[in-house]
Chain A
Amino acid sequence: MSAKELADTSADPRLSRRLNVLRLCAGALALAGSLAALFPLAAGSLPPSAKSALFYSGFLAVLLGGGSLCAVERYRLKQLLCDSSGAAVDRAAVVDLTYEAEFDRLKNALVSVASHELRTPLNAILGYTEMLQEGTYGPLLSEQRNAVARIVSNIGQLLLLANNLLDHAQLEAGTLALNTVSFSPAELMDGVRGVMDMLARAKNLKLTGHIADDVPAILSGDRQRLHQILVNLIGNAIHFTDEGMVHVRIYRPDAAHWALAVSDTGRGIPEGLLQHVFEEPGQADNPLKRDYSGGGLGLSIVKRLVALMGGKVTVESESGRGSTFTVVLPLRESPAVTREGTG
């Protein structure tokens, strides 16, 4: 469902206008956040702690902007549950028959719209930040370079969040259908590294990749979801690694399967917590929810996507010595005719 369709379902033009004003306010808040995040670049003389404060307040404002968008849609839902004269309609009937389904539908539509609408401003923030980084506007001082690297790293986290919210909404709504195409594992690896290299660079980590010789040049699978799985695993590895490297391997564990493995030299996961890493962050008994916030949604999505693909994801880790996440999938070589375009 697109933003336009969501807007069209609002029958009352006055309500629409009010909602648009609120959406605008939320957008403005997000923009103010981006500006606050970029402001220290202009004020080169600020101490580093003041810069950090500005970054975090900036990104907080971006998130608040998103949160306000949620609030706007909740308000709209309330309006939907009232008749045109403003009086509440029969609550019992609404709750029994419509409320839950409608709320779920709106929630998923909202998440999907919000994640699309996050992408456009993110595109501008990322682009200008990389242009600063690449010296398009002149050379940067070393403190400014660090600041820019931290903006890039935070943009990466917002991006992961946007992707995961969308997949999560589709998984919850049961509308996520796999789109099986022929793809080249080499192109999959290149595409993922194109995006993740900037995050690794921002933390001074090395991101390397290797494809074993016995992996067929063309495989069959949902390329976009495989990309998402790798982005989540690599994003997670970068998030929890402070020095060293992240290594991605594509190989064949046996004749009937192929595998993706992402290893890091990060802090690792204590043995007692390993069984919880694929749980959703909202689960009350998940002991990871405090220390490992941010990783949870991505890994639970990886697990659900891999299960949809008929595969299995496992983790091996030792506290202080890094982790390896391995996704094993059934090998389906592709009939050459359906070869997908280079995209």
Chain B
Amino acid sequence: MNKPFALIIEDHADSAVIFAEALRSAGYETEIARSGSEALERLGATTPDVVVLDLQLPRVAGPDILRQIRADPRLAATHVIVATAHPQMTDSLAGEADSILVKPVSFIQLRDVAARLLPSITLNK
């Protein structure tokens, strides 16, 4: 069986590596998109089970990406974990994101959050 797939949308290189490793150790295949536009391009070409989304991104902002994911029926089953350095930006996203983590995000916490999503992903496949 294929591994679940996670797209990490994060422009800060170190954070992207850490988030990818957290998801990988929870059992996901991972890919990193380093800008909002690259993220939209990857979201058009793939169907991630989980998206880890930074909010402050070059070119297309995180909240716009989240809205586009939620508006796309093809991505209806995609779980979105928001990871942001701007806690005050998260209040308006409460209904749209599956999980909101404020940076610094604990590697262990992100790995656990991702692992908890696994059963619902396997059921959907």
Contact = CB atoms under 8 A, between A and B. Distances in A.
Interface of A: 116-117, 119-120, 122-128, 130-131, 134, 136, 155, 159, 163, 166, 179, 181, 194-195, 197-198, 224, 340-343
Contact of A342 (B98, B102, B106): B98
A123 B87 contact: no
Given A123-B85, A127-B105, 19 more contacts: A116-B85, A119-B104, A120-B15, A120-B85, A123-B83, A123-B105, A125-B104, A126-B106, A127-B14, A130-B108, A136-B21, A136-B25, A166-B87, A194-B106, A194-B109, A194-B112, A224-B90, A224-B91, A340-B94
B109 A343 contact: no
Given A126-B104, A127-B107, A130-B106, A341 B96 contact: yes
Nearest to A128: B18
Interface of B: 12, 14-15, 18-19, 21-22, 25, 82-83, 85-87, 90-91, 93-100, 102-109, 112
Nearest to B18: A127
Given A224-B91, A343-B93, A123 B103 contact: yes
Contacts of B22: 127
B19 to A, nearest CB: 8
A343 B91 contact: no
Q: Determine the main DSSP class of A at the interface with B.
A: helix
Contact of B104 (A134, A159, A224): A159
Nearest to A194: B109
B90 to A, nearest CB: 7
A59 to B, nearest CB: 15
B11 to A, nearest CB: 10
A116 B88 CA distance: 10
B108 A134 contact: yes
